[in-house]
Amino acid sequence: MSAPLSRRGFMGGAASLSSIPLLSHAAQAEPDSRPQKTPDASDPAQYRPTFFNQEEYLFLCHACERIFPQDENGPGAQALGVPRFIDRQMNTPYGFGDLWYMKPPFQEGPPELGYQLPYSPRDLYRGAITPINTHCLMVHDALFAVLPPEQQDAVLRDMESNRLRFNDIPGATFFEQLRTNTLEGAFSDPAYGGNHGMEGWKMMGFPGARADFMDWINQDGAPYPFGPIGMPPRPDPYSPAFQNDEES
């Protein structure tokens, strides 16, 4: 299990958002003369969002972290790259709502009859995050991201129980979207941008893409002994490693 990060450390996802308070220590430091380590491109903290703006992404980093926090079980949403996952998902057909039936008219009904808003996932995030921050500014005089965790949880609880509404987006609708995408990001293949280092799978005891349990159908309650493997990246057949059969 990875060493627990400090609260400050795992705010690293916000490192690039220079106009936003609560920056990580590293991002605030002046350049110095010591040799810089090459930044790890796979580090979720290095990610620059392409769909979300800085304020939205900062919200996302903090809200996901409260839904799936760093604790004694292992890393939280930020260290797993969940905000990066969600940002990337916004540029897929799913993000644009192409997987949903989106023909009008749109009409509200009993909850059992399901989602009835004219909004894609992109629209839901774009439509809800700013009003949530406005709500936090009005009630707590601060953006969501800088509230203490207990107050962040209270805002999320008010969303989950539908006590808040953001224009025509019920709080519960947005909360379920956020929870669903957070958990997808924590547990989907790392190639999608979340589940960094397969730490989500390790926490669960899920062996990833092994998909072969011929000898483990019934071991009388013993734990499965092997750690996870990810989706093998597709090799470039013209790469020297492939040509020389050096793949591992």
Partner 1 sequence: MTDDTSRPARPDVLIIGGGWAGSIMAKELTEAGLNVTMLERGHDHSTAVEGTYPASIDELRGVARKRLFQKLSRTSLTIRNRPDQTALPYRQLAAFLPGEGVGGAGLHWSGCHFRATEDDLRLRSVTAERYGENFIPEDMHLQDYGVSYEELEPFFDKAEKVFGTSGEASSVRGQKTGKGNIFAPDRSDHFPLPPMADTFSASVFRAATTDTGYHPFSMPAANASQPYTNPYGCQMGPCNFCGYCSGYACYLYSKASPNVNILPALRRDRRFTLITEAQVLEIMLDDTRKKATGVRYVDLKTRSEKTLEADLVILSAFQLHNVHLMLVSGIGTPYNPVTRTGTIGRNFTYQTITSSRIWLPEDRFTNQFVGAGGAGVAIDDFNQPSFDRGKAGFIGGSPIWVNQSGLKPIAAAQSSGGKEAPRWGSTYKSAMIDQYRHSFAIDAHGSNMAYRDVYLDLDPTWTNAYGQPMLRMTFTWKDNDIRMNQHVVSHIGEIAQAMGATRTSLNSLQPGQSFDSRVYQTTHLNGGVIMGENPKTSALNRYLQSWDVPNLFVIGSSAFPQGMGYNPTGLVAALAYWSAHHIRRTYLRNPGPMVSA
**Which residues contribute to the site for partner 1 (CB under 8 A)?**
66-69, 71-73, 92, 94, 98-103, 105, 107, 109-116, 153, 156, 160, 179-180, 182-184, 186-189, 192, 200-201, 203-207, 209, 211-214, 216-224, 231-232
Measured from the CB atom, the residue of 16 and 152 that comes closer to partner 1 is 152
Q: Cα(4)–Cα(20) distance, rounded to whole angstroms?
A: 24
- Smallest gap from residue 73 Cβ to partner 1 (A): 6
Measured from the CB atom, the residue of 23 and 61 that comes closer to partner 1 is 61
Measured from the CB atom, the residue of 18 and 116 that comes closer to partner 1 is 116
- Smallest gap from residue 97 Cβ to partner 1 (A): 8
Q: Cα(191)–Cα(170) distance, rounded to whole angstroms?
A: 32
Contact indicator for 169, 124 with CB cutoff of 8 Å: yes
Measured from the CB atom, the residue of 29 and 211 that comes closer to partner 1 is 211
Measured from the CB atom, the residue of 63 and 136 that comes closer to partner 1 is 63
- Smallest gap from residue 132 Cβ to partner 1 (A): 16
Tokens encoding 217: 């159908």
- Smallest gap from residue 154 Cβ to partner 1 (A): 12
Contact indicator for 120, 100 with CB cutoff of 8 Å: yes
List all residues 6 or more positions away from 119 whose beta carbon is below 8 Å from its beta carbon: 97, 127, 169
Burial class (CB in 10 A: 0-12, 13-18, 19+), 17: buried
Q: Cα(191)–Cα(198) distance, rounded to whole angstroms?
A: 10
